[in-house]
Amino acid sequence: MKLAVFGKRFETEYIDAITGLLDMLVIRGHDLLVGERFSRFLNEIGIALPAKAEIFHDHTEIEGADVMISIGGDGTLLDTLGVIRDKDIPVLGINTGRLGFLSNIPTDEIGQAIDALENKEYKIDERSLIKVDCPDLTDIDFPYALNEVTIHKKEDASMVTVDAYKDDKFINTYWADGLIVATPTGSTAYSLSCGGPIVMPGSENFILTPIAPHNLNVRPLVVPNDCKIRLRAEGRAEEFLLTLDSHSYSLKAGAQVVLSTAAFRMKLIDMEDQHFFQTIRNKLLWGIDRRN
């Protein structure tokens, strides 16, 4: 197989595991493409790349890859979206971060995961994406998000007022620190921390979650994702922030943002014994009594 490897800095406790992973892939005859920034980090910490490994710099240089291996936390896996884009390359997430909702293979299970990859004993979990259309922003290179799109105030600004529409039907004017529009994947991320519901992947929904709303009666709202969500931000400030996952852009007051479901999906690789309810039980500690 041709495997692309994308990653970020990790703690020294993972050096042996990642060294073992790279050695395993070479011994088993796989062709490797390694992200340029990640390769520099590996060199800094004394991990030598295999001689036959090729370096890629951006999404134009990973054609033909069968799988992308993401090494890091959920933030790293989110960043792989900008690399694979619409190339239909499935992603295997190896967790060297903290929570690991998306990057869900612990380093002590790397061997089993590679065995499953080679034997095709895994599941493909397709996740919907949000597409962003905003004529006022010309510097968005890749206008898609896996977790959420958020309009929020800048640090020194007062509340933002966001008018929200489902297609042409007015939903509400949100007076708040911001408004999150999340996918089911993003329901366990920023939206959850602001009181939003957990939505099972594959539910084909958008979740609208206000951030610190002025009116406490305004609650999160779940709508089908076969529509367009139109947002317009106003307020005392001249600019706000539009954030796509972890990438932020300045948004002028009065600018209109239209959100819709992308025509392609991100494919995540899960082991056959993994499922969503198991993940949230483990990560959110459901059923565990901390008093014991």
> What residues does each domain of the chain span?
2-128+265-284, 130-261
Amino acid 84: pLDDT: 97
Say if CB 117 and CB 84 are below 8 A apart. no
Q: For domain 2-128+265-284, is the CATH number 3.40.50.10330?
A: yes
Instruction: Report yes or no on whether pTM surpasses 0.85.
Output: yes
**Structure tokens given for 209:** 């979650």
- pLDDT band of 242, cuts 50, 70, 90: very high
Q: What are phi and psi of 271, to 5 degrees?
A: -70, 160
- Largest Cα–Cα distance of the chain, in whole Å? 61
- Same fold for the domain at 2-128+265-284 and the one at 130-261? no
Q: Which of 56 and 289 is assigned the larger pLDDT?
A: 56
User: What is the pLDDT at residue 50?
Assistant: 87
Residues 6 or more apart from 277 whose CB is under 8 A from it?
Answer: none
Cβ–Cβ < 8 Å for 248, 221: no
The residue type found at 66 is: D
Neighbours of 23 (CB within 10 A): 12
Angstrom distance (rounded) from CA 241 to CA 263: 25
pLDDT tens profile 119-150? 999 999 999 999 999 998 888 999 999 999 99
Please report where in the chains the tokens 């034997």 appear, as a residue.
119
Residue 177's pLDDT is 95
What integer pLDDT is reported at residue 226 of this predicted model? 97
The angle that helices 15-27 and 110-119 make with each other, rounded to 10 degrees, is: 30
Active site residue 74: yes
- What is the structure's pLDDT at 284? 87
247-252: strand order across its sheet: 221-224, 205-211, 178-182, 148-152, 239-244, 247-252
pLDDT at site 138: 86
| Model confidence at 238: pLDDT above 70 | yes
Please state, rounded to an integer, the average pLDDT across all residues of the chain: 94
pLDDT at residue 203, rounded to an integer: 96
Q: Which two tokens stand for residue 113?
A: 């995961």
- CATH number assigned to the domain covering 130-261: 2.60.200.30
Q: How confident is the model at residue 41 (pLDDT cuts 50, 70, 90)?
A: very high
Give the pLDDT band (50/70/90) at residue 291.
low
pLDDT at 80 over 80: yes
Whether residue 175 is predicted with pLDDT greater than 70 in this model: the reply is yes
Model pLDDT, residue 119: 96
Catalytic residue among 31, 66, 74, 141: 74
The C-alpha atoms of residue 162 and residue 55 are separated, in whole angstroms, by 44
pLDDT exceeds cutoff 80 at 292: no
Q: How confident is the model at residue 112 (pLDDT cuts 50, 70, 90)?
A: very high
Q: How many CB atoms lie within 10 A of CB 278?
A: 11
